[in-house]
């Protein structure tokens, strides 16, 4: 199975690059299952029902979120009715929505997607490791599901790496989101789990993590309260990762970063896994 995961979508520019390129990437890379992190898609803060459906129409099978999931309040009344939209799994019991779900690809293979949110420098939610452990115990890879994906939405690289090793051998891939900068550590861990600390964002990289430079620079250099941060609107880059799995075990055989459009050097893994 080939799984494509696109990192945090930031603002209109990020939405446009995903909607433009995701259908082409699915065809060119023979993608079986596609995931998009959409938590910054609505003008940089949260996501709406309409944006979710635009991603689904472009070819996303699942949309994950993170700490900005509730910034567009309308989603609180919509998320229970949309099983393809996930919020962090380690929110307290009774929170609207779901933190994991099992989906089916076009060939009938079952794919588990679960999204823990980190606690270092983030909101103090429930233990993400315990939450993931409980889900994986109920959905063993290679038996209950044919693939399993973990989107660890966290600030600290150490916490993301710890989640990768915690899940190694139990899931197909662990990828990090939230920090909006692609890391250079894409690898298959010793137990067979594909891993990358952060996928990077789908957004304008002539920015400060997707936001317009002027306001962000003023906050750092003048230490004065400024206006609301606005998403940068220039040409965007789609950043993500492509993973290939073994259908018998569900473990990864290869991982490659993917970059298309905008300012960053293009990387499309033709001939993958090579």
Q: Which of 21, 43, 53, 68 is catalytic?
A: 68
Quick: pLDDT tens for 163-183.
999 999 999 999 999 999 999
Residue 265: inside a domain, yes or no? no
- Residue 29 CA to residue 31 CA, distance in Å, equals 5
Residue 97: inside a domain, yes or no? yes
* Number of structural domains in the chain: 1
Quick: pLDDT tens for 231-264.
999 999 999 999 999 999 999 999 999 999 999 9
- pTM score, whole prediction: 0.96
Residue 269: inside a domain, yes or no? no
Residue 267: inside a domain, yes or no? no
CATH of the domain at 30: 3.60.21.10
Within 8 A by CB and 6+ apart from 265, the residues are: 259
3-class SS letters over 54-100: HHHHHCCCEEECCCCCCCCHHHHHCHHHCCCECCCCCCCCCCCCCCE
Residue 273: inside a domain, yes or no? no
Main-chain phi, psi angles of 49, to 5 degrees:
-60, -40
Quick: pLDDT tens for 6-55.
999 999 999 999 999 999 999 999 999 999 999 999 999 999 999 999 99
Quick: pLDDT tens for 109-166.
999 999 999 999 999 999 999 999 999 999 999 999 999 999 999 999 999 999 999 9
Angle in degrees, 0-180, between the axes of helices 157-167 and 128-138, rounded to the nearest 10: 20
Residue 160: inside a domain, yes or no? yes
What torsion do the CA atoms of 90, 77, 53, 131 make, to the nearest 10 degrees? 10
Q: Is 21 a residue of the active site?
A: no
Residue 193: inside a domain, yes or no? yes
Question: Cα 120 to chain center, whole Å?
Answer: 18
Residue 130: inside a domain, yes or no? yes
Domain holding 85, by residue range, is 2-260
């Amino acid at each position: 199975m080939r799984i494509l995961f696109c990192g945090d979508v930031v603002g209109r520019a990020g939405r446009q690059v995903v909607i433009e390129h995701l259908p082409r990437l699915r065809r060119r890379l023979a993608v079986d299952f596609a995931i998009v992190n959409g938590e910054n898609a609505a003008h940089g803060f949260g996501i709406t029902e309409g944006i979710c459906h635009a991603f689904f129409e472009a070819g996303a099978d699942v949309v994950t979120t993170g700490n900005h999931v509730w910034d567009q309040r309308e989603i609180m009344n919509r998320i229970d009715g949309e099983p393809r939209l996930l919020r962090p799994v380690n929110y307290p019991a009774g929170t609207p929505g779901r933190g994991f779900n099992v989906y089916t690809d076009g060939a009938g293979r079952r794919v588990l997607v679960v999204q823990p949110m980190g606690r270092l420098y983030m909101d103090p939610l429930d233990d993400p490791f315990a939450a993931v452990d409980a889900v994986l115990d109920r959905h063993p890879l290679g038996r209950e599901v044919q693939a399993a994906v973990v989107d660890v939405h966290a600030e600290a690289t150490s916490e993301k790496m710890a989640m990768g090793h915690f899940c190694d051998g139990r899931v197909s891939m662990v990828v990090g989101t939230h920090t909006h900068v692609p890391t250079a550590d894409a690898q298959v861990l010793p137990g067979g789990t594909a891993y990358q600390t952060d996928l990077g964002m789908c957004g304008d990289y002539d920015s400060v993590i997707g936001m317009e430079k002027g306001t962000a620079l003023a906050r750092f250099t003048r230490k004065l309260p400024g206006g609301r941060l606005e998403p940068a609107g220039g040409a965007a880059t789609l950043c993500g990762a492509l993973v290939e799995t073994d259908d018998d075990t569900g473990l990864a055989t290869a991982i490659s970063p993917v970059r298309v459009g905008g300012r960053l050097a293009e990387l499309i893994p033709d001939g993958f896994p090579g």
